Amino acid sequence: MNLAYDYPLLSIFWTMLWFFLWILWFMLLFRILIDLFHDDSQSGWAKAGWAIFLILLPFLGVFVYLIVRGRGMGERELTKAQKRDEQFRAYVRESAGSTGEGSTADELAKLTELRKSGHISDEEYAKAKAKILA
Residue 132 is predicted with a pLDDT of 83
Write b or e for each residue in 70-107: b if 16 or more Cβ atoms lie within 10 A of its Cβ, otherwise e.
eeebeebeeeeeeeeeeeeeeeeeeeeeeeeeeeeeeb
Residue 35 is predicted with a pLDDT of 92
The pLDDT tens digits of the residues spanning 80-126 come to 999 999 999 988 888 876 555 567 888 888 889 888 988 888 888 89
Higher pLDDT among residues 98 and 53, named by residue: 53
The answer to whether 76 and 38 are in contact (CB under 8 A) is: yes
The answer to whether 51 and 39 are in contact (CB under 8 A) is: no
Q: What is the amino acid identity at position 70?
A: G
Q: Where are the domains of the chain?
A: 1-73, 101-134
The answer to whether 125 and 115 are in contact (CB under 8 A) is: yes
